[in-house]
Amino acid sequence: MKKYRIVMFEDEFLPASDLAKQLKEFGYEVTGMFSSAEKGLTFLEETLGTDRFPDAVLMDITLKGEIDGIQAAGVIFEKYPCGVVFLTALSMLSVIEKIIAVRPVPFLIKPFDPYLVHTNLQVAIHIAGLEKEIRRLRNGNIQA
């Protein structure tokens, strides 16, 4: 398996550290962990086009700062070619509807099984690759 790079947006340090260890066991490289969307989005901007840019983002909905995870994911979908998997302890229908309104992507409700995180990351990375190819074809004036 290719060693995919993952960035985590998570405001709880201990769960984020545990999850990072589990991701490493699956062969992922965790290139950043951010408790605020602002810091994470700055990292994405600074690493775009470099070998540190992630293949996927694990996005908690509740983050420190002015921007929540759903808003941050909206920015990512608009500007960056990487997959997103939402993580949330909030399983209310209204939260799930907000996620789907931004873009229907994989999401997991805490607590979650590490294998489900791995599986959903693989799906998100695959989706992001397809979207990147569609953008490439459209920009090359080739009908997709």
Q: What is the CATH number for 78?
A: 3.40.50.2300
Q: What's the pLDDT score for residue 91?
A: 66
* Residue 103 resides in a domain: yes
* Residue 126 resides in a domain: yes
Whole-number Å distance between alpha carbons of 123 and 119: 6
* Residue 144 resides in a domain: no
Q: Which two tokens stand for residue 139?
A: 């920009």
Q: How many domains does the chain have?
A: 1
φ, ψ for residue 28, nearest 5 deg: -85, 155
Residue 140 has pLDDT above 70, yes or no: yes
Residue 141 has pLDDT above 60, yes or no: no
Q: Name the residue among 53, 35, 36 with its Cα closest to residue 44.
A: 53
Whole-number Å distance between alpha carbons of 107 and 104: 9
Mean pLDDT, rounded, for 9-20: 91
Give, as one character, the DSSP assignment of residue 36: B
* Residue 121 resides in a domain: yes
Containing structural domain, residue 52? 5-139
